[in-house]
Structure 1
Amino acid sequence: MPPKAMYQRLNLYAEGSDAYTFEPVGEGGTARSLSFKRTTGDIILNAPNVRVRQPPSNSTRVFGIMGTISLSSSEYIILITGRELKTRFMGHDIYQATDFKVLPLDNSHTTEHPAEAHLLALVQSHLATGLFWFCYTWDITRRLQAHWVGASEDDQKALWETADDRFFWNKFLQSRLIDITVSNSDQDLSPYILPVMYGTFDMTHTAINGKPFVFAIISRRSRYRAGTRYFRRGIDEEGHVANFNETEQIVLYDPNDGGSIPMPRQGEQGSRIQLSFVQIRGSIPLFWAEVNTLRYKPDLQIMQLPNSASALQTHLTELVNIYGTQTLVNLVDQKGREKPMKEAYEGAMAEANLPEVRYRYFDFHNECKGMRYERVSNLTDALEEDLTKKGYFYFDTAEPNPRRIQLGTVRTNCMDNLDRTNVVQTHLAKYTLNRQLREVGIISKEDGVDNHPEFMTSFRMMWSGHADLISHAYAGSGAMKTDFTRTGKRSRQGALEDGYKSVTRYIKNNYFDGPRQDAFDLMTGAWTPRRGKSTAMALLVDRRPLLVRSMPYVLSFSLFMICAGLTLPRSSDYSLKYYFLFWFILLAASWTFIVAHGIDYVNWPRLNPPVDVIYYEGPGFRKYKHGMGWNLPWVKNAKGMLQQGQGRLKAAAHKLEEIEMGTKTRKERVD
């Protein structure tokens, strides 16, 4: 049976400064409107006969409630006010959110305070740059096999109840509505709780040998340990890894269809036979980081913590419980700066000794040097036995049970889980696709998809587009090596484009990713603000010494004076030798200082500053400590200053919490 119905369109009415009321559109007399009381902060599901006594012209059209979030001065409600119908999949409309509105719930709120404005800007930037997908009638967060497994248990449950917790991106934002629904049976807000997925969704109608089918790729990004390239690496204490993505390749085919490529008239074509192949990617499951120092290559740091083994065990056990047996494909280099990462990973896996987890190494750069990326097929050949055993999901809706189920996944990683990982996943997807299409009779046993250039063009474009979007979300630029993914060949033009992307990544990762990481932490609940402007204001204070803050200005002014001396007309014949000497010396000195203290000029996250990582002194590996500065007194105390600032923030938050608890207790006594 279908899940509980969700409201697909809402009219928002602002009842003065008292309340926001959402009234479902076209849902009949049994639909219940929802009110957010601005004076008390309560959320109330109104009785079926309660209607807003205002004309629709006074309303704002809303397509979903993203959730609520509390900042330093006020609580806000986040609304989806724009959507784009991207495709119709298995009879369900798939939308991408395009516009949002953030409304304050507190009457007395003000965004004039710098801290509140800063936090609100983080929310809005995250909404503007994210890739958010949703569906009102189908759980977009779960793979096809999980849909089939949970079909009987999920009967008549709401979408938020069946959603995969990892890929329910706005779960933290929806926590208030969920809590009300769980605690009060009369206040079932399920029709308003819309699960949103962060990821990619691409689908095409195609055909091979005159047999039409639907081909789709869905990528789901985990909300746990979410963030940017250099500020979220490795694993956390709960076993969650950075940049974890589940990628599902789907084929929908109906043997009874014939003649022409199906057009999406009703979205039902090709849904009788469902084929699914799932792969996963994620950061190396160790405590490690790459510490930005303004150099092109950050300092690699591997931390041997007491709970390293248990975190790895937790992560791999969860993967086995969810997906089945695991094959871990490691693509990092066995030489140079990545070698310690390979050795640490292999050492940890040897100690873990999990029977359902198999580790396999592939020296990607060495095997594919000279732009011979087709040699990735060597890895595919080596994994053939594993891929055969793990299989794929094959369900014919005319039969009660699937013909095949996928018994495990291949987990691929490189250092970033982006470029090398994309190439390998594309190869594994193509290998499995050949097996699937042969089994259902679209191609013969001797045939392969490479022999059908029109389809392969779509295949490559979809996989390269999928790679670009994952890379943009994590690294701030498109994926590299996509010329090979698109054309099957590596080109010099592609290498030049990769050089441009590398520079873009360097600039963004060092100078712009701090606020991006803050936005991820704020929206996923990794950092929760406490009420109080003085507490929040500490987020905006620059605690660096004056000397450090002044150096970029000295460098800029020196460069300006040198350019002025070269371009402005001379008023006399006096030699400018000493003039240029002075400014060049000042320029060189300021530049040397900035490079030596590079860590102080990286745009670090402010909400969860990685102080423990930057100044880690425990066992592990770190070959260099670039950017730590000269042996000056304030450098020695840098860690203490930052930790002291964090301590003050935590103490203030704790004090506020005590005040709130005391007020609540007194109120309960009065009641």
Structure 2
Amino acid sequence: MQLLHQRLQLYTQGNDTYIFVPPDTAGAQSLTIHRSSGELVLNAPHSLPPSARRTGKIIYGILGIISLSLSEYVIVMTGREVKGRLMGQDIYRATDFDLLPLGQNIDVFNPPHPVEAHLLNLVRTHLHGGNFLFSYGWDLTRRLQSQWETREQDTDRPFWATADDRFFWNKFLQTRLIEWTTGNTSQDLSPYILPIMYGTFDIRNATLHGRTIQICLISRRSRFRTGTRYFRRGIDHDGHVANFNETEQLLLVEDAKSGEFSTQMSFVQIRGSVPVFWAEVNTLRYKPDLQIMDLPDTPDMMRKHLQEQVSIYGDQALVNLVNRKGHEQPVKEAYERYVAQLNLPSVRYQYFDFHNECKHMRWDRISVLIDELETDLKRYGYFHLTSNQPEAAQLQRGTVRTNCMDNLDRTNVVQAALARWTLNQQLKAVGILSEEDSIEAYEGISKDFREIWADHADAIANAYGGSGALKSDFTRTSKRTKKGALEDGVKSLLRYFKNNFFDGARQDGFDLIAGNWVPRKTPSSSMFLVTDPRPLVTRSMPVVASFSLFMICAGLTLPRTSDYSLFYYFLLWIALFSISLIFIGIHGIDYVSWPRLIPSTDYIYYSGPGFRSAHHGKGFGGDDAPKTRSGTSISTKWLNSAGKKRISVAVEEGEKKRVD
């Protein structure tokens, strides 16, 4: 496998070029990017132009090139921190980034157009808000078994070519460098193409019965159908599901004689949204409206998704934790209906009524699910490799795919329980634990295990839902407490505010970085990104409510002249406050922070076969609102001409991804 450059020095030649020089690699070719044409050129070793001037920047990797409305930008990493060491290689987290404009007259801190400024802010927010991990010598995007199975083919392949396409987070950004490399045999930019992964990494050392071991947990987030909690649900028309994560638990056992971790074990689980077309529509209510769409291609897309998992991981045990009653019931029923319809031979469905089984804080009842899965877990096994043996002692031949409604809190608890069960089996297999023993009897390793899984749960929940994981007190302590329940209430409120008022911009950042939406080269055509097309009365209601509340509070604290005069005073401001709140509630959908790059109208105003829990927040017209040319309704938010233009442009750009 070709090595990557770990440090680059940045030189500039006037306003014409950026030159990246690897200072630590003898005889390495430097890379020149011409700003006017975007051309990439590998230079002969030690051929730096005399007019080149070194900047103070140390670059730890080129993430790729992104094209916005006015210019293209080279995204570089200027900060990193070591998260641990795995298989003799350092694992890093990217901590700081810089954007280098290719346009001649572009200032990244003061762009000449508001659309460009908005897009740059989306890029920066996404980069600094994500948990991006990478290594220069270990393929962090692939599980251990996959790397072992392709070890011979990967010997001479470039690093980026071996990465798992699902977890190669900056694959779209690296398109220019990859295409340049594959199209020019004499211009191999592979040492500059650094794959990064969005996920988690943690590794802990422990000693058990005199044996030194390492426990490592890695989660990998898919770049397909990526996004935030309420704006990416279910499956898409390519068979990808929202919030898909592969989680790998590694157990490394040190050999007493050589001092190396010669025994390597891997256990992989996956999670993903219920693979049907469904969504939850934010309307400012705590419980969003549930929308399930029975589309003609639902069976084909579910089949495509599940068959892909079978081809990658082997047999599948589908563990569904969605509630059997209440708000979540229609999602459970739709899932079960289509799974039964497909009847795939390598797929087994297992339902577990999590909230009913574990009510009254009876979290020990998760053992019921483990008992039901034990046959599958033993049949699927885990990957077991001993370095002095030519063949693997065991391969993992299947995975458990777990989901709840969000694939966060209940899923985290169940996956941690399955991982603990498997870890006990692995430690028994290598003779560290006896058949009657378990890690729960050893507080040191048990505490490390719980903390690794709790931190992992928080990171995934923050990335998708906007707060730490719920029920994490059980993951950290193996006990459910009233304090933990109170903390969950605070986290739930935090999720509510983030999901309703901030996630629209976050979703736009995901779509921009993943290449789901490509900006036009005429920023004036994208003014819908920085303007508010809502009618004046809609925009004014939060101001009226805030000012009325201020006047009510002022009336309670200011000196009184007579009770008679204050009666009409309070009557006026309480009436205005109430009217504004009622208006906001009726038009709640207009006050949610919706994604602007790819509108959500396909499911907000879906009127085909399926299930809809309610139609809240759409104004007085409700479902009788006018329709767009694609057949979806338009809310009062978009009734004016500016709003219609915004929908038309956004849909055209989002679906066709075309660039002027």
TM-score class, shorter-chain normalisation, is over 0.9
Q: Which amino acid aligns with 1:413?
A: N
Matched residue of 2:48: which SS?
coil
1:570 Cα deviation from its structure 2 partner: 3.8
Q: Aligned in 2, Cα 1:88/1:301: closer, same or farther, shift over 3 Å? A: same
TM-score (norm 2): 0.95
Contact persistence 1:41–1:106 (CA under 8 A): no
Contact persistence 1:39–1:106 (CA under 8 A): yes
CA distance in 2, matches of 1:286, 1:221: 20
1:647 Cα deviation from its structure 2 partner: 2.1
1:541 Cα deviation from its structure 2 partner: 2.3
Q: What is the match of residue 21 of structure 1?
A: 19
Moved more, 553-562 or 501-510: 553-562
Q: Aligned in 2, Cα 1:64/1:532: closer, same or farther, shift over 3 Å? A: same
Contact persistence 1:6–1:136 (CA under 8 A): yes
Q: What is the match of residue 77 of structure 1?
A: 74
Contact persistence 2:516–2:657 (CA under 8 A): no
Q: What is the match of residue 648 of structure 2?
A: 647
Matched residue of 1:154: which SS?
coil
Contact persistence 2:236–2:301 (CA under 8 A): yes
1:53 Cα deviation from its structure 2 partner: 3.5
Contact persistence 1:252–1:270 (CA under 8 A): no
Q: Aligned in 2, Cα 1:172/1:152: closer, same or farther, shift over 3 Å? A: same
Q: What is the match of residue 522 of structure 1?
A: 512
Matched, 1:588 2:588: no
Q: Aligned in 2, Cα 1:655/1:595: closer, same or farther, shift over 3 Å? A: closer
Q: What is the match of residue 194 of structure 1?
A: 194
Q: Which amino acid aligns with 2:40?
A: I
Matched residue of 2:230: which SS?
coil
1:41 Cα deviation from its structure 2 partner: 1.8
Contact persistence 1:289–1:302 (CA under 8 A): yes
Moved more, 55-64 or 492-501: 55-64
1:444 Cα deviation from its structure 2 partner: 1.2
Q: Which amino acid aligns with 1:132?
A: F
Matched residue of 1:25: which SS?
coil
Q: What is the match of residue 439 of structure 1?
A: 429
Matched, 1:42 2:26: no
Q: Which amino acid aligns with 2:646?
A: G
Matched residue of 2:316: which SS?
strand
CA distance in 1, matches of 2:464, 2:339: 26
CA distance in 2, matches of 1:505, 1:393: 37
Moved more, 273-282 or 546-555: 546-555
Contact persistence 1:294–1:601 (CA under 8 A): yes
Q: Which amino acid aligns with 1:44?
A: V
CA distance in 2, matches of 1:156, 1:221: 27
Q: What is the match of residue 404 of structure 1?
A: 394
CA distance in 1, matches of 2:436, 2:655: 68
1:86 Cα deviation from its structure 2 partner: 1.6
Q: What is the match of residue 566 of structure 1?
A: 556
1:558 Cα deviation from its structure 2 partner: 1.2
Q: Which amino acid aligns with 1:249?
A: Q
Matches within 5 A, 1:76-95: 76-95=73-92
Matches within 5 A, 1:266-281: 270-281=260-271
Q: What is the match of residue 238 of structure 2?
A: 238
Matched, 1:355 2:345: yes
Q: Which amino acid aligns with 1:350?
A: A
CA deviation vs aligned residue, 1:532-565 (integer Å, no higher than 9, x gap) = 1111212222222222111111111211221222
The percent of aligned pairs where both chains have the same amino acid is: 56
CA distance in 1, matches of 2:116, 2:562: 55
Q: What is the match of residue 214 of structure 2?
A: 214
Q: What is the match of residue 262 of structure 1?
A: none
Matched residue of 2:367: which SS?
helix
1:571 Cα deviation from its structure 2 partner: 5.6
Contact persistence 1:535–1:652 (CA under 8 A): no
Q: What is the match of residue 335 of structure 1?
A: 325
Q: What is the match of residue 117 of structure 2?
A: 117
Gaps of 5+ in 1: 259-268, 661-671
Matched residue of 1:575: which SS?
helix
Q: What is the match of residue 482 of structure 1?
A: 472
CA distance in 2, matches of 1:227, 1:127: 14
Q: Aligned in 2, Cα 1:168/1:450: closer, same or farther, shift over 3 Å? A: same
Q: Which amino acid aligns with 2:7?
A: R
Contact persistence 1:62–1:80 (CA under 8 A): yes
1:508 Cα deviation from its structure 2 partner: 0.3
1:644 Cα deviation from its structure 2 partner: 4.9
Matched residue of 1:200: which SS?
strand
CA distance in 1, matches of 2:600, 2:538: 19
Matched residue of 2:433: which SS?
coil
Q: What is the match of residue 62 of structure 2?
A: 65
Matched, 1:422 2:419: no
Q: Aligned in 2, Cα 1:293/1:312: closer, same or farther, shift over 3 Å? A: same
Matched residue of 1:576: which SS?
helix
Moved more, 624-633 or 197-206: 624-633
CA distance in 2, matches of 1:621, 1:655: 29
Contact persistence 2:122–2:509 (CA under 8 A): yes
Q: What is the match of residue 126 of structure 1?
A: 126
Q: What is the match of residue 144 of structure 1?
A: 144
Moved more, 568-577 or 591-600: 568-577
Q: Which amino acid aligns with 2:23?
A: V
TM-score (norm 1): 0.93
Contact persistence 1:134–1:140 (CA under 8 A): yes
Q: What is the match of residue 457 of structure 2?
A: 467
Matched, 1:381 2:382: no
1:255 Cα deviation from its structure 2 partner: 3.3
Q: Aligned in 2, Cα 1:215/1:649: closer, same or farther, shift over 3 Å? A: closer
Contact persistence 1:332–1:363 (CA under 8 A): yes
CA distance in 1, matches of 2:106, 2:395: 53
Q: Aligned in 2, Cα 1:133/1:409: closer, same or farther, shift over 3 Å? A: same
Instruction: Return the match for 2:105 from 105, 108, 124.
Output: 108
1:454 Cα deviation from its structure 2 partner: 1.2
Q: Aligned in 2, Cα 1:112/1:542: closer, same or farther, shift over 3 Å? A: same
Q: Which amino acid aligns with 2:165?
A: D
CA distance in 1, matches of 2:187, 2:287: 54
Matched residue of 1:555: which SS?
helix
Contact persistence 2:615–2:623 (CA under 8 A): no
Contact persistence 1:79–1:102 (CA under 8 A): yes
Q: Aligned in 2, Cα 1:251/1:650: closer, same or farther, shift over 3 Å? A: closer
Q: Aligned in 2, Cα 1:176/1:582: closer, same or farther, shift over 3 Å? A: same
Contact persistence 2:228–2:463 (CA under 8 A): yes
Q: Aligned in 2, Cα 1:657/1:355: closer, same or farther, shift over 3 Å? A: closer
1:155 Cα deviation from its structure 2 partner: 1.2
Matched, 1:177 2:177: yes
CA distance in 2, matches of 1:651, 1:220: 31
